[in-house]
Structure formats: structure tokens, C-alpha cells
Chain A
Amino acid sequence: MAEQYVAAVDQGTNSSRCILFDRRGRLVSVAQREHRQLFPRPGWVEHDAEEIWRNVTRVVPAAIRQIGAAPSQIVAIGITNQRETSLLWDRFTGEPISHAVVWQDTRTDRLVAELARDEGPDRFADRCGLPLMTYFSAPRIRWMLDHTPGLRQRAERGEILFGTMETWLIWNFTGGASGGLHVTDVTNASRTMLMNIETLEWDDVLLDAFDVPRAMLPEIRPSSGVFATATEVLPGVRIGAALGDQQAALFGQTCFSPGEAKCTYGTGSFLLMNTGQEIVRSKHGMLTTVAYRIGDQPASYALEGSMAVTGSLVQWFRDGLGMIHTAAEIETLARTVEDNGGAYIVPAFSGLFAPHWRSEARGVIAGLTGYITKGHLARAVLEATGFQTLEVVDAMNADSGIALTALKVDGGMTANNLLMQFLADLLDVRVVRPMVTETVSLGAAYAAGLAVGYWPDLQGLRSNWHRAGQWVPHMDPARREIEYTNWKSAVQRTFNWLRPEDQEL
């Protein structure tokens, strides 16, 4: 019998990719297409959803062709996606009402401030696990309904559909305007601010608060479970999973037990810890989110620490300052010196995310003296990612009551040995890199393969996970203490930089 594969479709912020995995969880082929980033106004970021769907219809056959396989060798499709990016479309024509509004878009900042006004940003945290921020979907839906004449009435009549990107893809995979299925999964729904984190259903109080008609919302399904059989692109192949990208990475790293955590290091970085069936309410600036739900089993939850600027600080060092030619060269430059020389860079470029959530903060370079060279600054750039991770881990440990014993890492920055060693030293735990660094796609493939019986159970998936590299801590505890104290003191200096009268709010 011909070899069988699972196709992961990763609809990301910059590109759409299709990766095929074999039964041992090994990557066998990759096809990718980038889509345009549209910036119609300062602070606005949009994607053309039709362009994205076209790209998906191309990368899936391309990945299959690459290894000379037949579509019949694909046993399931797993979908993972950029989270919170929101789209409205016409149920009857299948045409988007406008471009998708991307997660980085801050057009809803006034609206969010208004909604928070009396009770503060945490007024819905009990119900949805999230603070009020421009990051999430609900304010975006409200904004779109408010800014297109007649749209709200059409939405109330059920003529307009809302979806995040996995919803849009599944709808199109299953026929679009001619019979497409309108569904989402619990992980993506948990990022809208409209789903009740306990019942895993749309919550009337939240729908009222954001003034979003229930008729436009997709049905919420488990993350792993057969959604439907595709009629387009891969007719006859079952769609076995959908998960948000960071949740998919947690799944791909096989963090199935409470206390297991991973951190994905990219432009920004996201640390997620599985908290099992317990919904942990953060008192320390973490988000409460759904990790995954497999079929009818109870959902697993996660705490999430989001860091906005990590890899993008290296990009700034390269493109903004011109200190290096390629991102990888930062390690070479950083190794020209022994330590940071007393310099600390806090990259609060657009405020600070977890665990501080300070939108008025702006970045600083602290501890500057005449002694500091560009080598020290290169160290400070890399160390900023380490210190931010430590802050998130500290907050996570305090919230969960479980001390992290090892950190599984993935993403592009794991190629940086200096950073990985610094992380191990600072966190005082082992830092472990898995053999497959494409954990987002792997997680979607795992969840889909599980749904169709390609893999029998979670234990089988765990046995596919192999360590590719490991960094062990050996920093003197006294030095760690001093470094962290210095960092915290640098963070203090970023606060209250924007004064209320400066802000548009």
C-alpha cells in the first residue's frame, strides 16, 4: 500500500503553507505562498481573504506534487491559523464584505477604551479569560458592523457570516456559497472574547456587551474531530482538526499534561502552559485560553504569556540600526564581549505585553556608559528575550502553582545558541529543542491524524517527539539575581512614558 500522509495547512500572518507529515511525524514536503500585508492607514493591518484562499488552493496540491504522491494518499487535513484575525462575508455570494482585519490592527483602540471605561479592562475576564484589548476579535466585529451601513441588519437576518481564518478555510473547503460549513474550534473561539470559557458556548452577556448578533457566529466544535469531508481542493479528504497557531505548537510539542509548557520564538514569542481541565484565572497578567479539545473529551486549558517584541528586536537591530547584515550575525557580534557591560534594552515598542500590559510604556536602553560597544548592545538585544521569558515564567509559576521544570522551545530563534544558553541560565531549567521545529504545522497534523485514527492516541504522538538539542543551566545564582534586578529596574523606567494627553484615547 502506498504511504499515507497528513496535510497540515498553516494559514499564518505572512504566508499560507502546506506541510505533509508521515506516520512518524517527520516532515516530508513543504509548499508556501506569501500574501500581501495591506496597511491602509497608520495602525491598520489587513489581509485579502480571497487571496489567502487562492494561495491555499495552490500550496496543497504543490506539497503533494513535490513528493510525487497522489491526493488519495492524504488521510486528513489539519488546519492551523493566525489567531484573532477577523473576517465578515456574504453567506449567499461567498464574497468578503471587506478585507480581513489582522490581529496586529489597532483601529479598535478607542472602542476598547470606551468598553472598558467604568469597570476596567478586566470587566469580561471572568467570562472569557481575556482582558479587553485591540488584540482580540469581538471589538473588531463590532467595529465592522458599526462602520458599514446596513450591515448589522443583514447580520441579524443571518446573511452575513463571521469567521477567523480557520472558519473561512473550512467554509471554502466544503463548498463555500454552495453548502459550505460554518464552524470554528474551541481554541479559536476562545480568542474572540465572545465564548464563555467554562461552557465553551457563545455567551449572551458577552454578545450583548459587544452588540454582536448570534446569527453571524459559527458553530463551535472540538479542535480534533472530523469537521467535514472536503469537496474542494482535496475532494473526499476529511478535515480532522482546526487549532490556533500557538495552541497547535503546544500540541505539536506534545505538551499534553498539566505543567508542560512550550515557548515559540518568532517575531513575538508565546509561552503556553497546559493547565489540564482546570481553568486557572491569572492574577499575574497571563491570558486564560483553551489549549485543545479532542472529540467529546473535556477541554484542556492553558495559560498564555504573550511577548510582543522578541525576534522583531533583532530585526530592528539589523534594519533600523544597521548593526548587522543578517539576523544570525547578532550571535557573532554578541560573542565579541563577555557580558552585557551593564546595558539593558527593554523593547516596549508599542507598550509592554505580558505580564505588565502597559500600553503607555515605551522602550529604553538603560545603563549606558562610554564603555558600551555594539557587542554589548547585541547581547542586550538577545538578553531582552531571555528576561521577558523569565518574567512570563515567574508569573506563570505564581498563577499555576506548578514550577516549570524544563522549557520546550521552537521557532526561528532557537538557532541562536547564545540565547538558548542564556535562557537556560536565567530560568535555571533545562531548555530543550525538539527534532521538528515546525511545531505549529505538526500540531495541526497530529490533531487531524488523531481524529481519523492515523495515530491511535496521545501516547503514540509522544513517542514521535525527540530531543534535537538541550541547554543546561550553569549561571551563578547570585549573578542571576543581580541581572534580574537590573532588568526589572530598567522595565520600571519604561512606564508612563506616554502621558494621557499624548494618547489618542
Chain B
Amino acid sequence: MLRLLAAAPDGLGVADLGNALGLAKTTVHGILRTLHQVGFVEQDHSGAHYHLSDAFGRLGESYLDPNELRSRAINWADSLASRSGEVVRVGRLAEGKVVIVHHVFRPDDSEQDLDVGTTLPAHATAIGKAVLAYDTSAASRPRTLEAFTTRTITDPARLAEELATVRSRGWAGELEEHTVELASIAAPIRGLGGLVVGAVGLAGRVERICDSRLRHRSDLVSMVRATAEAIGRDLRDDS
């Protein structure tokens, strides 16, 4: 189907594709819907013809521009910061590290510096774990697990277990693994086709992020997950 679409600059209709491939209309529809959801095919204005999107030619590149991620995340990240009272960051994985794409200050008007463009270690932060858990390219995995505190996970097997937990519950937590007295919570952002394109999370002092038994506060976890879902919905709808 992709070959046929690539060879037809004016696009093809469902019937054209069905006839050419000997497939039922409903089958063609189903496949086209999937290809459309992941952004590989586009419909023309009338909706009658499908053609390959230029995203197909850029498969090897990171498919979501980091600045696009920021502009989609900004309203939701602001709202998370103002509701939680904590610092909010959006990050993505690049060369084994988390690159900060967006940063919202803690809403207490204290002096804070924007750290957009700086990096954080992936294995020792919630945002990092939330993206590592869904990463399939071994190339972007950290090779050595540097210890920042006595709580940093430095054993690859332990990290693998931790990432499995992240996948099963859908969010990542971190407690004094990067900086003493600080903790963080993050959730993955799913773009087109369900691909994880980054994560959004909040960070703050342990006593504000965790309850008395040092568990991440469930109200904050819900807020973070709802924020990640809202950003993901925005990303998927519009493309």
C-alpha cells in the first residue's frame, strides 16, 4: 500500500487501493486509519484521496521537533506548576541523557534560572526513567550508571526492574537519587502512534513530594499523569 501511495503523486482513493491489492474496502480502510494515526499518510481536503506524508521520508530523524513539544506542553505545564506549587520540567532523551525542553518556575517568585537546553542524568531522575522505560534504541542508553547519592541506582539489573515498574504503573518516581532532600515524579508523553516523545514531571523537597512513609503523594502522581495525557492528546489530535 505504501509503495502504491508513493507512486501516486495525486493520491489514491480507498477503491483504487482495494482494486490494486485485491483487498476489501473495510480492510483498506482499517490499514489507512492506522497509517493516518501514526502520521505516515495524509488525506486531501475532500477526504477522498490519501497520499504519503513527508514524515515518511524523515523516518530516521526524531519525528517530533523539541520546540514543537514545548509549544504544545506550555499551557499544561503552567497549570501543573500552579496547582502543585512545584518546579515543572519537560524533557526528552538524547544521547543517553535527558535534555530539558521546557522549564516552569516554582510559583513562589524566588530567583530561579531557566535551564532549558541543559541535561540531566536519565537513570537518576523521574523524567529520565519515564523516557528510558520506553526507549528501544540501545544507543541512547547510559553506558555507565554514575552515582550521585547513596540512593542512585547504579546496578543495570536494578535499573531494568525499576523501568519495568515504570511501564506497569505508567509513571516514574525518584527519591534522593540525584540530589539529597529532593524527589521527583514524572509521566511519559505519548505522541502519534503512541510513541513516547518525552516526559513531564515535577520536582521538589522530599517532604512536599512524598508522604510521611516516603511514598510519592498520590494526588501529585495523578496531576502529573493527567498533564502528560493532556499534552499527548494535544500532540496526537493536531497532526
Interface residues of A (CB under 8 A from B): 24, 26-27, 325-332, 412, 414-417, 435-438, 466-471
Bound complex: CA of A395 vs CA of B113, how far in Å? 30
- Given A27-B79, A436-B82, A471-B114, A415 contacting B74 (CB threshold 8 A): yes
Q: Are A26 and B82 in contact (CB under 8 A)?
A: yes
User: In whole angstroms, how far apart are the Cα atoms of A417 and B74 in the complex?
Assistant: 12
Question: How many Å lie between the Cα of A325 and that of B70 in the bound state?
Answer: 15
Give bound CA distance, A138 to B112, whole Å: 48
Closest chain B CB from A264 CB (angstroms): 15
Report B-chain residues with C-beta under 8 Å of the C-beta of A331: 67
* Across the A-B interface, the 8 shortest Cβ-Cβ residue pairs: A466-B107, A415-B71, A328-B68, A328-B67, A331-B67, A328-B71, A329-B65, A468-B104
What's the Cα separation between A435 and B76 when bound, in Å?
11
Does B176 sit at the interface, judged by CB under 8 A?
Answer: no
Which residues of the other chain, B, contact A436 by a CB distance below 8 angstroms?
78, 82
B82 lies within 8 A of A466 (CB): yes
On whether the beta carbons of B78 and A435 are closer than 8 Å, the reply is yes
Nearest residue, chain A, Cβ from B70: A415
In the complex the two chains form, is B70's CB within 8 Å of A469's CB?
Answer: no
Chain A residues near B116 (CB, 8 Å)?
A: 417
* Chain B residues near A469 (CB-CB < 8 A): 103-105, 114
Q: Are A327 and B78 in contact (CB under 8 A)?
A: no
Given A436-B78, A468-B105, verify A26-B65 contact (CB < 8 Å): no
- Give 1 or 0 for each of B207-219: 1 = CB within 8 Å of chain A CB: 0000000000000
Distance between Cα atoms of A466 and B110 in the complex (Å): 10
Residue numbers in B under 8 Å from A416 (CB-CB): 67, 71
- Ordered by A's residue number, 9 sampled pairs between the chains whose C-beta atoms are within 8 Å are A26-B79, A26-B83, A415-B70, A466-B108, A467-B105, A469-B104, A469-B114, A470-B105, A470-B113
Q: Is the CB of B105 within 8 A of A437?
A: no
Chain A residue nearest to B111 (CB atoms) is A470
Bound-state Cα–Cα, A417 to B81, Å: 19
Which residue of B has the minimal Cβ distance to A421?
B114
Residues on B lying within 8 angstroms of A by beta carbon are: 54, 65-68, 70-71, 74-75, 78-79, 81-83, 103-105, 107-109, 112-114, 116-117
Q: CA of A141 to CA of B114 in the docked complex: distance in angstroms?
A: 49
With a cutoff of 8 Å between Cβ atoms, the chain A residues found around residue B79 in the complex are: 26-27
User: Do B70 and A466 touch (CB < 8 A)?
Assistant: no
- How far, in angstroms, from A330 to B68 measured CA to CA in the complex? 10
Q: Closest approach, in angstroms, between the C-beta of A124 and any C-beta of chain B? A: 41
- Say how far B223's CB is from chain A's closest CB, in angstroms: 13
- Contact between chains at A435 and B103 (CB < 8 Å): no
> Contacts A469-B104, A470-B105, A470-B114: A435 and B71 contacting too (C-beta < 8 A)?
no
Contacting residue for B68 out of A329, A435, A471, CB 8 A: A329
Residues of chain B with a CB closer than 8 A to A467's CB: 105, 107, 109, 112
| Known contacts A328-B68, A466-B105, then 13 further A-B pairs from the complex at CB < 8 Å, ordered by chain A residue | A27-B79, A325-B54, A327-B71, A328-B67, A332-B67, A415-B74, A417-B117, A437-B74, A438-B75, A466-B107, A468-B81, A469-B114, A470-B113
Contacts of A471 in B (CB 8 A): 114
Chain B residues contacting A470 (CB-CB under 8 Å) are: 105, 112-114
Chain A residues contacting B107 (CB-CB under 8 Å) are 435, 466-468
Q: How many Å lie between the Cα of A395 and that of B31 in the bound state?
A: 59
| Chain B residues whose C-beta falls within 8 Å of the C-beta of A414 in the assembled complex | 74
Chain A residue numbers with a CB within 8 Å of B114 are: 417, 469-471
Residues of B within 8 A of A27 (CB): 79
Q: How far is the CA of A328 from the CA of B54 in the complex (A)?
A: 17
CA distance A26 to B79 in the complex (A): 8
- Decide: A326 and B65 in contact? CB cutoff 8 A: yes
Q: Which residue of B lies closest to A331 (CB)?
A: B67
Q: Evaluate whether A332 and B65 lie within 8 angstroms (CB atoms) in the complex, with A466-B109, A467-B109, A468-B81 already known.
A: yes
Shortest beta-carbon distance from B44 to chain A in Å:
17
- Closest-CB distance, B71 to chain A (whole angstroms): 4
- Scoring B70, B112, B113, B114 by chain A CB atoms within 10 A of each residue's CB, the highest score goes to B114
Q: Are A435 and B104 in contact (CB under 8 A)?
A: yes
- When distances are taken between beta carbons in the complex, the residues of chain A under 8 Å from B66 are 332
Partner of B82, one of A327, A328, A415, A435: A435
A63 vs chain B, min Cβ distance (A): 15
Give the distance to chain B from A5, nearest Cβ to Cβ, in Å. 15
Chain A: minimal CB distance from B111 (Å): 9
Q: How far apart are B216's CB and chain A's nearest CB, in angstroms?
A: 23
- Listed residue (A325, A332, A438, A467) with the most chain B CB atoms within 10 angstroms of its CB: A467
Of B78, B81, B108, chain A has the most CB atoms within 10 Å of the CB of B78
- For B69, the closest partner residue in chain A by CB is A328
Interfacial chain B residues near A26, Cβ < 8 Å: 79, 82-83
A417 to B114, CA, bound (A): 10
With CB as the reference atom, state the residue of chain B lying closest to A412.
B71
Determine whether the beta carbon of B78 is less than 8 Å from that of A468.
Answer: yes
Question: Which among A416, A469, A470 has the greatest number of chain B C-beta atoms within 10 A?
Answer: A469
